[in-house]
Amino acid sequence: MHTLNVALAERSYPIYIGKGLLDHDLLRKHVRARQVLVVTNEAIAPLYLDRVLAGLQGLQVDSMLLPDGEKYKSLAVLEKIFDRLLEGRHARTTTLIALGGGVIGDMVGFAAACYQRGVDFIQVPTTLLAQVDSSVGGKTAVNHPRGKNMIGAFHQPKAVIIDTDVLETLPAREFSAGLAEVIKYGLIRDVEFYRWLTANIDALLGRDPSVLSEAILRSCQNKADVVAEDETEQGSRALLNLGHTFGHAIETATGYSAWLHGEAVATGMIMAAQLSADLGWLPQADVDALSALLARMGLPVKPPVGMTASQCRELMALDKKVHDGSLRLVLLRAIGQAVVTADYDDAVLMRMLERDCAAGE
Ligand code: NAD
Ligand code: GLY
């Protein structure tokens, strides 16, 4: 087992990464008092809930199953978590446990941030995306019909427990979506990691345990470093949003159903890289190599059919990184060196969007 630390003074917490950790007594160690609510969904419960419950014997353990899917990441479903906590008379010392992917993690984290003005929670991420990204860093949220993740809070977990074995049951498409976020760390701040990923792509796609574990470890280390530097995204944490402004436009244009988040991020990262190349910052060969790498991972590399350049630009303007009317983007000065900037020519952006959207499959 590897242990990393997210260094946030009194809010610091460990990330445990290893095989078979669901059967370890780690969860119990991080439960503060005698009450626990485990929240998972209908798909994950039959696979892993019993093992989690087995590690919590002797406590008041309540559990609940939410419906599966991004469309249930809503205030209405969040209220059901509060109902369950109140039914079970959970006190301020209770601990919520999020067993699932990013949807469950974000929702349970937000419930923990709100219930009685803030209680403990532990992340037990079960998708690759959640293991390398969403479970670390304390961003919690639900969606609003007018925008994704628009209602939320920063609330750090007490621990993140990553059992790499659970990825064995993850569908291939979800696995690939998670790989997009892994690649992201290499692109924004870790060129060595990017080279390592490129060299180990076959083993990674084959879910080779040691290569996968190394990829998760290095991703979490990168994420922990960024979060420790800028917990509430006043500056450098925004780099983690590489590809997300384009990606959110794709997700919105496709109604949050046709594309997975990681798929939209993959195409978004290529669009960000292409714009960086069009601005003369990045060699075109780097963009082409990135595109080939993501395609090899089974990820989409062109915007969705039917999305126009002007629609994309309009949707991008809804991004949280718009400040005083100017849209800041995460772009690449080089592989491993991202910047957040509004210093680009909008005409170059529009030309790139027109070319890319016309090329959409
Ligand atoms: P998800 O939570 O919807 O999980 C994907 C699917 O995989 C679901 O159907 C789920 O039931 C299933 N699943 C989960 N674990 C499984 C397993 N081990 N075996 C078999 N099936 C399994 O999606 P996700 O990609 O994990 O998360 C996406 C969400 O994360 C989005 O809502 C996004 O906004 C959010 N997110 C948050 C952050 C953050 O910093 N908080 C970062 C990135 C993404
Ligand atoms: N996934 C973006 C962040 O955690 O900041």
Residue-wise pLDDT for 44-77, tens only, equals 999 999 999 999 999 999 999 999 999 899 999 9
Q: What percent of the chain has pLDDT over 70?
A: 98
Pairing mode of beta strands 13-18, 60-66: unpaired
- Count how many domains the chain has: 2
User: What is the domain extent for residue 311?
Assistant: 172-359
Annotated catalytic residue 248: yes
Active-site pick, 174, 181, 214, 231: 181
165 lies in the same domain as 210: no
94 lies in the same domain as 176: no
Count of positions (residues) in the chain: 361
Annotated catalytic residue 214: no
Contact 202, 173 (CB under 8 A): no
Residue-wise pLDDT for 275-312, tens only, equals 999 999 999 999 999 999 999 999 999 999 999 999 99
Measured from the CA of 238, which atom of ligand 2 is nearest? 5
Annotated catalytic residue 117: yes
| pLDDT above 70 for 218 | yes
Expressed in angstroms and rounded, the spacing between residue 69 Cα and the centre of ligand 2 is 20
Expressed in angstroms and rounded, the spacing between residue 127 Cα and the centre of ligand 1 is 6
| pLDDT above 60 for 361 | no
Domain end call among 169, 203, 221:
169
Give the number of the ligand closest to the Cα of residue 223.
Answer: 2
164 lies in the same domain as 176: no
| pLDDT above 90 for 154 | yes
Q: What is the pTM of this model?
A: 0.96
* Residue 348, domain CATH: 1.20.1090.10
* Residue 152, domain CATH: 3.40.50.1970
141 lies in the same domain as 209: no
192 lies in the same domain as 326: yes
Expressed in angstroms and rounded, the spacing between residue 213 Cα and the centre of ligand 1 is 18
